[in-house]
């Protein structure tokens, strides 16, 4: 996964503008707070899956440790 819960929506949208629609779908404000603070844990998992799908990333595209 490229996009993680400790990232702020504003930074994500600056890099991947197409993720803004996903944030809107989940009513997540585009600001500098970390997603793990803005979104309930059960919703956060679905949000992360959708965001990473939008940018073409999955656990298969990443290597352990970075």
Q: How does DSSP assign 1-66, residue by residue?
A: --S-TTS-HHHHHHH-GGGHHHHHHTT---SSS-HHHHS-HHHHHHHHHHHHHHTT--GGGS-TT-
Q: What pLDDT was estimated at residue 58? A: 65
Is 3 inside a domain boundary?
A: no
Q: What pLDDT was estimated at residue 1? A: 61
Is 38 inside a domain boundary?
A: yes
Is 53 inside a domain boundary?
A: yes
Q: What pLDDT was estimated at residue 20? A: 97
Is 13 inside a domain boundary?
A: yes
Tally of structural domains, the chain: 1
> Could you tell me which of 35, 28, 29 has the C-alpha nearest to residue 8?
35
* Signed CA dihedral, 38, 44, 49, 50: sign only: negative
Q: What pLDDT was estimated at residue 66? A: 46
pLDDT digits (tens, 9 = 90+) for 4-61: 999 999 999 999 999 999 999 999 999 999 999 999 999 999 999 999 999 998 655 4
Query: Does the pLDDT value for residue 62 go beyond 80?
Result: no
Is 16 inside a domain boundary?
A: yes
Is 43 inside a domain boundary?
A: yes
**pTM, to two decimals:** 0.84
**Chain centre to alpha carbon of residue 15:** 11
Q: Which domain holds residue 53?
A: 9-61
Is 66 inside a domain boundary?
A: no
């Amino acid at each position: 996964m490229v996009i993680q819960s400790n990232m702020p929506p504003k930074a994500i949208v600056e890099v991947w503008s197409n993720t803004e629609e996903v944030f809107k779908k989940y009513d997540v404000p585009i600001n500098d707070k970390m997603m793990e603070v803005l979104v309930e844990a059960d919703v956060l998992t679905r949000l992360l899956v959708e965001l990473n799908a939008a940018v073409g990333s999955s656990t298969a595209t990443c290597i352990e440790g970075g």
